[in-house]
Amino acid sequence: MSPPLRVGVAGLGTVGAGVLTLLAANADVVAARAGRPIVVSAVSARDRNRDRGVSLAGLRWHDDPVALAADPNVDVVVELIGGADGPARALVEAALAAGRPVVTANKAMLAVHGAELARAAEAAGVALAFEAAVAGGIPVIKAVREGLAGNRISRISGILNGTCNYILTRMRAEGRDFAEILGDAQRLGYAEADPSFDIDGIDAAHKLAILAALAFGRPVAFGAVHVEGIRGISARDIAFAGELGYRIKLLGLAHATPDGISARVYPALLAEDAPLARVDGVYNAVVTEGDFVGRLMLEGRGAGAGPTASAVVADLIDLARGRATPVWGAAAGALSDAPSVPIAAHVGCYYLRLMVVDRPGVIADVAAVLRDHGVSLESMLQRGRAPGETVAVVLVTHETRESAMRGALDRIAALDAVLEPPTMLRIEAG
């Protein structure tokens, strides 16, 4: 058998400890599939004395993670520090400059700096692998970049954040509001103490930017992703969506149009029998549509020590076997320069909830505004009457352009009978 592949791991949190645990527990399986043993030879983390539930005996310790890039006993650097910049980026750049391949789970760094890191990897002739950066243990990177390499992908969509999916699932099941369920999720460890990265859609947008780059063969463009989170979703909206036959999910969606690539993250209504609508709890799922393969869906746990470590080790096995693919599926010179399409150009159906004074003529005023902006109504939902009091009115539109819908909303919000900012959600096919 060939000499071991020696790995330096930077970051010994949940995932880093999981990688060490997996490599020890499944050493025989990993060696058989890699064609040689894969061993951790050096590590770096902030606290030497913390008990991580895994033995570090015999491993070289580096206080500075960047030192892993120059360690002569390290063949591959695994970056599990996290963060778009700082030590994580410095380590990856140093490793690539030193001609060492890198495995990372760092979606933020790849989304923000992936284009230049890919060029650095290509110039050095080494791999930059990141299966663990999107959807945890679901092998979606390999599926899109390699398994579907012969297809033109027209659309990729998914549930890309388990925290948001867990919150929305429980809101639907229990009829409770966002703040209550978020508090429960924090106590149970499904949400961070500062959950903004997840609930404001940034985490999902990082992942979508990576998937869109792979799917459409162009440099990663995080800044072009339209991002909305779930803070504004109420139990009332989830209940109304259910009456209309929909479920609300935080979706990441990207598709190719004649004008370029549209990429967006937002909460949307899905028909309750749509495959993505049935993905609940902390699970993630990704749907791709290719011209020859058709529609495919992958589903599984999107985070956690085991699933993410599984993806990291899959990349290490590829490197041990000498298998490497360009970061974004093709050499830099072969990538597309397709432009990004702004959200204003989006065309679709919309859910609109208004809180209005129940008096004659209000609906006629709202309908007149929609008519003036070319927005056609498909249906309206109002439960009960309360003359002179506040009532909820839900409108569902036919397909219309986002810019027209936004213009109509501005005028509707200014009506004196509309007592709260309107809630607008898009309706997607899933």
- Read off the CATH number of the domain in which 214 is found: 3.30.360.10
| Residues 371, 292 within the same domain | no
* Residue 325 covered by a domain: no
Look at the block and give the residue holding tokens 């004659």.
360
User: So what's the pLDDT on residue 188?
Assistant: 85
Give 223: exposed, middle or buried? Use CB within 10 Å, 0-12, 13-18, 19+: exposed
Specify the number of domains making up the chain: 3
Active site residue 207: yes
Co-location of 107 and 152 in the same domain: no
Q: 350 and 249 share a domain? A: no
Please check whether residues 355 and 267 belong to one and the same domain.
Answer: no
Report which of 418, 135, 147, 178 is spatially closest to residue 282, judged by C-alpha positions.
135
Inter-residue contact 55 to 119 (CB < 8 Å): no
Is the residue at 306 inside a domain?
Answer: no
SS3 string, the chain, reads: CCCCEEEEEECCCHHHHHHHHHHHHCHHHHHHHHCCCEEEEEEECCCCCCCCCCCCCCCEECCCHHHHHHCCCCCEEEECCCCCCHHHHHHHHHHHHCCCCEEECCHHHHHHHHHHHHHHHHHHCCCEECHHHCCCCCCHHHHHHHHCCCCCEEEEEEECCHHHHHHHHHHHHHCCCHHHHHHHHHHHCCCCCCCHHHHCCHHHHHHHHHHHHHHHCCCCCHHHCEECCCCCCCHHHHHHHHHCCEEEEEEEEEEEECCEEEEEEEEEEEECCCHHHHCCCCEEEEEEEECCCEEEEEEEECCCHHHHHHHHHHHHHHHHCCCCCCCCCCCHHHCCCCCECCHHHCEEEEEEEEEEECCCCHHHHHHHHHHHCCCCEEEEEECCCCCCCEEEEEEEECCEEHHHHHHHHHHHHCCCCECCCCEEEEEECC
Buried-state track 95-115, b at ≥16 Cβ within 10 A, e below 16: bbeeebbbbbbbbbbbbbbbb
Whether 146 and 260 share a structural domain = yes
- Do 77 and 172 fall within a single domain? no
Distance CA(361)–CA(370), nearest Å, equals 14
Which amino acid appears at position 184 of this protein? Answer: D
Q: Which two tokens stand for residue 383?
A: 């439960």
Asked if residues 157 and 430 have their Cβ atoms less than 8 Å apart, the reply is yes
* End position of a domain, from candidates 241, 274, 301: 301
Q: Which residues pair with 285 in a beta bridge?
A: 159, 299
Asked whether residue 255 is assigned to any structural domain, the reply reads yes
Whether 310 is in a domain gets the answer: no
- Assign residue 360 a region (left: φ > 0; alpha: ψ between -120 and 50; beta: otherwise): beta
83 and 202 housed in the same domain: no
pLDDT at 51: 82
- 171 and 100 assigned to the same domain: no
Structural domain range at position 66: 5-133
pLDDT by position in tens, the chain (length 430): 689 999 999 999 999 999 999 999 999 999 999 999 999 999 999 888 888 888 888 899 999 999 999 999 999 999 999 999 999 999 999 999 999 999 999 999 999 999 999 999 999 999 999 999 999 889 999 999 999 999 999 999 999 999 999 999 999 999 999 999 999 989 988 888 899 999 999 999 999 999 999 999 999 999 999 999 999 999 999 999 999 999 999 999 999 999 999 999 999 999 999 999 999 999 999 999 999 999 999 999 888 889 999 999 999 999 999 998 999 999 988 999 999 999 999 999 999 999 999 899 999 999 999 999 999 999 999 876 778 788 999 999 999 999 999 999 999 999 999 999 999 999 998 7
Position 333 in a domain: no
pLDDT at 1: 63
Contact 133, 340 (CB under 8 A): no
Tokens of 304: 């956690």
Residue 292 — φ and ψ, nearest 5°?
Answer: -105, -35
Task: Clarify whether residues 220 and 285 are in a common domain.
Answer: yes
Same domain, 287 and 411: no
Write down the catalytic residue from 107, 142, 207, 249: 207
- 80, 103, 133: which is the final residue of a domain? 133
Residue 286 domain-assigned? yes
pLDDT score, position 189: 84
CATH number of the domain bearing residue 48: 3.40.50.720
In a domain, 360, yes or no: yes
Of 133, 159, 180, the last residue of a domain is 133
The CATH number for 359's domain is 3.30.70.260
User: How far, in Å, CA of 346 to CA of 340, rounded?
Assistant: 12
312 belongs to a structural domain? no
Nearest to 6 by CA among 18, 23, 26: 23
Are 293 and 144 contained in the same domain?
yes
Q: Which residues contact 364 (CB under 8 A, 6 or more apart)?
A: none
Are 396 and 280 part of one and the same domain?
no
